[in-house]
Amino acid sequence: MPGKHSAEVVGAGLAGLTAAIALAQRGWSVRLHERDSEVRAIGAGIYVWGNGLATLEALGLSDAATGAHVGPALESRDHRNRTIERVPINGPGQPRVVTIMRDHLIGTLVRGAKDAGVEIRTGSEAVEAHPDGTLILRSGETVRADVILAADGVNSRLRRHYDVVARRARMKQGAIRLTVPQSAEYVPAADRDKYLEYFSGRRRVLYTPSSETSLYVALVADEDDREASRIPVDAAAWTRSFPHLAALLSACAGATGRWDTFEFLTLTRWSLGRLAFLGDAAHAQPPYLGQGGGCAMMSALGLADALSTPGSPVDQRLRDWEYAQRPVVEHTQRWSYRLRKLNNLPDTARSALLHAGALAPRLGASRMRAARTVPTGHGRFAGAPPL
């Protein structure tokens, strides 16, 4: 259609898919490039908080949460399996969060993209992008658009040409993520529906029902903890730290897992001319709040709103988007960065700190700021408690 605005989006993860759908729904002509031969997600679950859910609702894709698990509480347990913090969720006035299998979420977004008219090109790797709106592909093709969105993940190749990284830190901690079938053997019946986080020494186990049948497990440890980061999972080593989870850890040993080291990244600016960085390419965070994907989706929706607001040139709209989004995203990043320290504390000090945190509602509200944020259009968001 003549006069239609055009976008080339690089990366079919949560950020790229969300931005592509939202722009196409606002009348843009959108092409999405994914370097892999298909759009796929790793075999794990994901926490989708209120901001992610509100984004899915705004895209008309609430059915992404169909079959998701809706837990009653998040509980942290100490090395003796005693509850040290309990956050009630999903009740009136409480934070909303569901857990879902990543392939179901990505599959729903791919369907949404196709329905919205996005052209998805798999096996299409981008190698360079320029602020004048030029994108160069591995195939040798050069394409031009009103805006280029680099949603190519924390190791963004498109970002490498520009001096925009303000801070990047590898956390020296990471996690094995895997899925096992749910079973009554793993935890007592009263705990089965909860989201449970177990601490012991410098290791953590995250127990996350993510559908009626699937249980997502994350095993968090220091990068140099050789036996804890080994794949397949070393059930004996993990059971030494968590004897009460022996049945679960033995099931994990038979599952296909993937280790990822956590990263933190901030940029000096999120855009240059007609080129914008979004999602993990702009603001990666360690997953202690389960908000990297939520922030990516929330911010991508805000980007589409900002770009579709008439009256100013594209580079100005991108700056407006950053101005609107950056405070809540960076606030969330700061919190997730701080929370890494919990892993490094002795068991007794950690328990005392978490117990004190549970008794401080303002602290809890601050930590949950992004989770309570909802889009209101024009790239702006509301509903968050004060910083």
Ligand X SMILES: Cc1cc2nc3c(=O)[nH]c(=O)nc-3n(C[C@H](O)[C@H](O)[C@H](O)COP(=O)(O)OP(=O)(O)OC[C@H]3O[C@@H](n4cnc5c(N)ncnc54)[C@H](O)[C@@H]3O)c2cc1C
Where does this chain touch ligand X (CB under 6 A) — which range of 81-89, 145-153, 301-309, 350-358? 145-153
For residue 287, give the DSSP letter.
G
Q: What are the helix (H) ranges across the chain?
A: 14-25, 50-58, 102-116, 226-229, 235-241, 246-253, 280-283, 292-307, 314-339, 347-358, 361-367
Out of 291, 308, 351, 373, the only residue in the binding site for ligand X (CB under 6 A) is 291
Q: Is residue 371 part of the contact set for ligand X (CB under 6 A)?
A: no
Nearest approach, Cβ of 4 to ligand X (angstroms)? 23
Where does this chain touch ligand X (CB under 6 A) — which range of 9-17, 53-61, 238-246, 371-379? 9-17
CB-nearer residue toward ligand X: 246 or 339: 339
Where does this chain touch ligand X (CB under 6 A) — which range of 22-30, 236-244, 285-293, 357-365? 285-293
For residue 69, give the DSSP letter.
B
Where does this chain touch ligand X (CB under 6 A) — which range of 6-14, 59-67, 87-95, 315-323? 6-14
CB-nearer residue toward ligand X: 14 or 23: 14
For residue 3, give the DSSP letter.
T
Judged on CB neighbours under 10 Å (0-12, 13-18, 19+), 267 is buried
Nearest approach, Cβ of 146 to ligand X (angstroms)? 19
The beta strand positions in 11-96, using DSSP E, are 29-34, 45-49, 73-77, 83-88
Nearest approach, Cβ of 29 to ligand X (angstroms)? 19
Q: Is residue 197 part of the contact set for ligand X (CB under 6 A)?
A: no
Nearest approach, Cβ of 37 to ligand X (angstroms)? 10
**Residues 296-315 within binding reach of ligand X (CB under 6 A):** 296
CB-nearer residue toward ligand X: 222 or 280: 280
Out of 175, 248, 265, 368, the only residue in the binding site for ligand X (CB under 6 A) is 175
CA 335 → CA 290, 364, 371, distances in Å?
11, 11, 12
- Cβ-contact 291, 374 below 8 angstroms: no
Q: Is residue 112 part of the contact set for ligand X (CB under 6 A)?
A: no
CB-nearer residue toward ligand X: 128 or 309: 128
For the record, the structure tokens of 386 come out as 């004060």
**Residues 309-368 within binding reach of ligand X (CB under 6 A):** none
Q: Is residue 11 part of the contact set for ligand X (CB under 6 A)?
A: yes
Judged on CB neighbours under 10 Å (0-12, 13-18, 19+), 89 is buried
Q: Is residue 125 part of the contact set for ligand X (CB under 6 A)?
A: yes
CB-nearer residue toward ligand X: 118 or 351: 118
Q: Is residue 31 part of the contact set for ligand X (CB under 6 A)?
A: no
Q: Is residue 222 part of the contact set for ligand X (CB under 6 A)?
A: no
CA 342/CA 312 separation, integer angstroms:
45
Q: Is residue 95 part of the contact set for ligand X (CB under 6 A)?
A: no
Nearest approach, Cβ of 103 to ligand X (angstroms)? 13
CA 94/CA 102 separation, integer angstroms:
24
For residue 95, give the DSSP letter.
P
Q: Is residue 126 part of the contact set for ligand X (CB under 6 A)?
A: yes
Per-residue b/e over 311-330, b at no fewer than 16 CB within 10 Å? eeebbebbbbbbebbbebbe
- Cβ-contact 27, 167 below 8 angstroms: no
Where does this chain touch ligand X (CB under 6 A) — which range of 141-149, 179-187, 291-299, 341-349? 291-299
For residue 100, give the DSSP letter.
E
Query: Judged by CB under 6 A, how many residues of this single chain contact ligand X?
Result: 32
CA 56/CA 82 separation, integer angstroms:
36
Nearest approach, Cβ of 173 to ligand X (angstroms)? 10
Number of neighbours of residue 164 by Cβ within 10 angstroms: 17
CA 357/CA 202 separation, integer angstroms:
19
CA 67/CA 141 separation, integer angstroms:
41
Q: Is residue 293 part of the contact set for ligand X (CB under 6 A)?
A: yes
Q: Which residues bind ligand X (CB under 6 A)?
A: 10-16, 33-36, 46-47, 125-126, 151-153, 157, 175, 177, 218, 260, 279-280, 287, 290-294, 296
